[in-house]
Amino acid sequence: MDFGVQVNVYRTSWDDVRASVEAMEAGDWDSVWFADHFIPPGANPEQEALTAFEGLSAIAFAGGMTKKLRLGNLVLGNTYRNPALVAKIAGTIDTASQGRFTLAIGAGWYKREHEAYGWTFPSMKERQDRFEEACQLLRLLIHSDEPVDFHGTYYDADNARLSPGSYDEPIPIMVGGTGPKRTLRTLAKYGDVMNLDGWAGGGMSLEYYQYKAGILEQHCEDVGRDPAEIRRTLLMPCYLTEDKNLIERVVGGLGAGTVAGSRQYIVDRIGEFQDAGIAEIMFGGLGSGDVERLKQYEEEIISAFR
C-alpha cells in the first residue's frame, strides 16, 4: 500500500505548502498531490481574493524540490487547458522528475472560476464529450512513437510529436471521477488509474467502492480491456481522533466521504480497502504546513502497513 497527501493549496502560503512537501520527502510518504482550481472552491466573493496556487506549475515546482515523491494533481480540469498543451507540460514534468508524474484529469465542474477567468463553461454533456475526446488525444500523444494526427469534434493535432515525452514508462493517466455511464467508460478506454474521491460526497464505504469497481470492470469487458491494468486509488479525507463529538462535527462538516476516528479504526478501514485491491491512499484534509500531523500519520497509520 502506498500513501500520499493532497496538500492544500488554497487559502494558504507557499511557505506552508513547501513545509509539507519537504516533510513528506524526508518522511515515509510515497506521493504528493495538489488540486487544480483558480479560485478556492466554495469561496464567497470576499474569499475569491485568497490564494489558490495553479496546479500544474505548483506540482512542477514540487518536483524540483524532491527526489523520491511521485507527483500529480487531484485533478486537473479539462476545460482550463487544451489537452495537447497538457500533454506537452506532462512530458516536461515527467522528464524533469525522472518519471515521477501522473497525469490526472477530470471533466471540470466549478462554474464560478470559468466566469471569473472568461472561460466557456459548457453543458454537462458537452463537458463529458470534450473530456472523453481529450483523454483519447492524451493517450495517443503519450503512447505514440510517431507524430500524431487527430481531428475530433473539439480538439485537433496536426503531425504533433510529444518531445520530450515520458521519461521511461508511459505517463499514467488518471481519469478523475466515477460517473457510471460516461466517466468510468472513459477510464476503461483511455485511463490507467482510478481514483475514488471522498470529497465528491459519495461516501467512503467498501461497498461504495466495490459498486464503482464493478461498473468499471463491466466497461472494461465491453471495450476489451483487462481491468487488472487499471490501478485503484482513494482520495480519503481523514481525521485522526478519539473524540466522538469531534468526529461527528468533522464528518458533518466535511461530508460522508470523510474517515474520522481512532488510529485502529482508520487502520482497519484502510486494511479493508487494501484487501479489496486499493493500491494507494491519498489523505485529504491535512492542513498545509502541519508537519507534526504528517509525522503523526506516519507513526500511527502508515507504519501499520510497512
Judge contact between 5 and 238, C-beta under 8 A: no
* Cα–Cα separations (whole angstroms), residue 122 to 110, 126, 136, 197, 250: 11, 6, 19, 23, 34
Closest C-alpha among 166, 91, 105 to residue 133? 105
How would you classify the pairing of strands 101-106 and 76-77?
parallel
Once rounded to an integer, what is the mean pLDDT over residues 58-84?
A: 98
Judge contact between 100 and 59, C-beta under 8 A: no
Question: In total, how many domains does the chain have?
Answer: 1
* Cα–Cα separations (whole angstroms), residue 199 to 57, 69, 124, 231: 23, 23, 19, 20
Closest C-alpha among 47, 46, 48, 73 to residue 59? 73
- The distance from CA 239 to its chain's CA centroid, rounded to whole angstroms, is 19
> What's the CATH code of the domain at 171?
3.20.20.30
Task: Give me the domain span that covers residue 239.
Answer: 2-305
Instruction: Quote the longest CA-to-CA distance of the chain.
Output: 60
What global pTM score does this model have? 0.96
Once rounded to an integer, what is the mean pLDDT over residues 221-230?
A: 98
Quote the cell numbers at residue 251: 464528518
pLDDT at residue 236, as a whole number: 94
- The distance from CA 9 to its chain's CA centroid, rounded to whole angstroms, is 14
If pLDDT is split at 50, 70 and 90, which confidence band does 189 have?
very high
Share of the chain above pLDDT 90, in %: 88
pLDDT at residue 253, as a whole number: 79
Q: What is the pLDDT of residues 197-221, one digit of tens each?
A: 988 866 788 899 999 999 999 999 9
CA 151, 35, 26: angle at the middle one, nearest 5?
A: 120
pLDDT at residue 122, as a whole number: 98
